[in-house]
Every structure is written in C-alpha cells, then in structure tokens.
Amino acid sequence: MSVPRSRRAVLAGTLALAGATLAAGDAPVGREPWPGAKVLRGERYVVIGHRIHSGLLADLAARAERARRKVAAVWGPVRPVILFPETDAGAEILAGAGASDGLAAMATADRVIVVPSGYARLSRIGRDVVIAHELTHVATGATRGGRVPTWLSEGFADYVGYSGSGLDVRTVAAELVREVRAGTLPDGLPGPADFAPGAARLPQVYEEAWLACRYIAGRFGERALVRLYGGPPPGGAGTPSRGGDVEAVLGLSPAAFTAGWRDYLRRELG
C-alpha cells in the first residue's frame, strides 16, 4: 500500500515541531480541557475531542490503542492521552507551541495533540505512524529533551511508528532512495540542526535516522536498540538513564558505526 506523496512532508514537519515543543515546556492543561468535551476512555487510553464528529473520534481511539500496543511491544507500557481540538490554533495552545503549519500531531511530556488540518491530510497508515511516533516520544520522555542524540529520538519514534505498517523500506525512504541511487550517501548521522523546521533535507534526515535505528535492530537486535536509548527504566516508570553510547552498547566506535550504517543505506536503498 502506498502513501500519498504529501504525507512524508507532513510527517517530517510533525517530527520537527515535536522537537520545538520540548523547549516550550509542558502545556498547563487539565485532563479535560474543554467544557462539554467528548471523552472516550478505553482500558488503557483516553481520547478527548472538542466538537469532533463521533466517528472520527472513535477512529482516533482505535489508533490510540494500536499505537499503545506498538510502543508497549518495543519500549514498555504507556497510557496514551490524546487530545483532538477543533482547530489548529487550539492545538497550538494545548501544545504550548507557536506554529502547527504542516503538522499532523504534536507531543508534550504526557500527551499527544492532534493538529486537525494536517491530520486530515494523512492516509490511514500515515495517521497510525504519526500517532505512534508521537506516543513514542511521550513514553521515552523525549519531550523532556536532550537525553539522547536527536537522530536516535526521532529515528526510534519512526522505528516504532512504522513497525507493523507493512510499508516497504524504499517507499518510506523514497527521498533518500533518490539521492543514494544518484550516487550521494550522507557522510554522517544527522545533527540537531538538520531536524530544524524548514531544514533543506527534512524528509531525508528523518529517513536517515529511521534507517540508523532499523540497522541497529537488524544487526544487534531490537533489545540492543532499546538499550542504546537507555530504557525503559525498571518497572516502566520514571526517567531512563542517559543513552546514545554506541561504543558501550554496540561495541562499535562511532566511526565504525557510521560506516556500518552507510553500508546499510547502500544495500537497502541502492
């Protein structure tokens, strides 16, 4: 099943703002931010909508449960709280973030916030990927900032987001495929500035990060990827220890890790 071309751009934008949201801190919102909000409460999730059609809210609840299972399978238990405001401006207020242009969802420390216009433009698979991506940020504490390199937090969120999607690697990484087939391989893993909103190669940078995590899971196992991230903590609560040390966890120097990842890109995308 293919994904509409526009989805990647929206997804990339989503990820970028999630990073910006970190700096903005936690949004001071209550559990039910609107009078008369519709609340769908599952055994392990809460979905809250403001003037959202019942069918659309029920659809989001099903996605919340699927995303919860994906995150639990890779990382550990999480209880999604997902807010679906009526307008993009409402989403910005809830997230404590400045601009939601081109985004489909955002994450704060403890909840996922849908951005209505961007979310509406996503395919069904795209919606599942985005919700699971943002929920991964919540579960890992990524929105509290800086504990692991950006390539690892964004790549890991996409790793969980795309798990079980059935999408081919070349479909997900279409922009990077074009570059690699034209003979251009990235020199090194992307840094924080490469993920800034509006950065030139945003889709490719997310694909590079995703493929770095996929490479680690494929070669060393998924548990090694989770260990590299530093978590989850015992009992699944609290903040995990600092992660991102490839030498300690994978037994590879940073240079050897980068070389292995570049070989992997060549093999998978070339």
Name the residues that contact Zn ion, by CB under 5 A. 15, 18, 154, 157
Q: How far is CA 53 from the centre of its chain?
A: 26
- The H or E element spanning position 82 is strand 81-84
Nearest distance in Å: CB 267, Zn ion: 26
Provide the 8-state DSSP code for 43: S
Phi and psi (nearest 5°) for 205? Answer: -65, -40
Q: Which is nearer to Zn ion, 158 or 179 (CB)?
A: 158
Shortest Å distance, C-beta 103 to Zn ion: 10
What angle, 0 to 180 degrees and rounded to 10, lies between the N-to-C axes of helices 202-220 and 5-24? 90
3-state secondary structure at position 270: coil
The H-or-E segment that residue 103 falls in is none
Pick the closer one to Zn ion by CB: 15 or 125: 15
Task: Rank residues 67 and 157 by Cβ distance to Zn ion and give the closer one.
Answer: 157
Q: Which is nearer to Zn ion, 18 or 74 (CB)?
A: 18
Q: Cβ of residue 197: shortest distance to Zn ion, in angstroms?
A: 12
| Minimum distance of Zn ion from residue 58's CB (angstroms) | 26
- Residue 169 CB burial class (10 angstroms; 0-12, 13-18, ≥19): middle
CB of 168 to Zn ion, least distance (A): 22
What residue is closest to Zn ion based on CB?
15
In three-state secondary structure terms, 38 is strand
**Identity of the residue, 15 or 216, whose beta carbon is nearer to Zn ion in the bound complex:** 15
Q: Evaluate whether 124 touches 132 at the Cβ level (below 8 Å).
A: no
Give me the least distance between CB of 158 and Zn ion, in Å please: 8
Q: Rank residues 42 and 244 by Cβ distance to Zn ion and give the closer one.
A: 244
- Residue 49: in which H helix or E strand, if any? strand 46-49
Residues 6+ apart with CB under 8 A from 220: 250
Residue 218 and residue 220: Cα distance in Å, rounded?
6
Nearer to Zn ion by Cβ, of 98 and 270: the residue is 98
Tokens of 110: 């403890």
Query: In the bound complex, what is the minimum distance in angstroms from residue 270's beta carbon to Zn ion?
Result: 27
Q: d(Cα 125, Cα 109) in Å, to the nearest integer?
A: 24
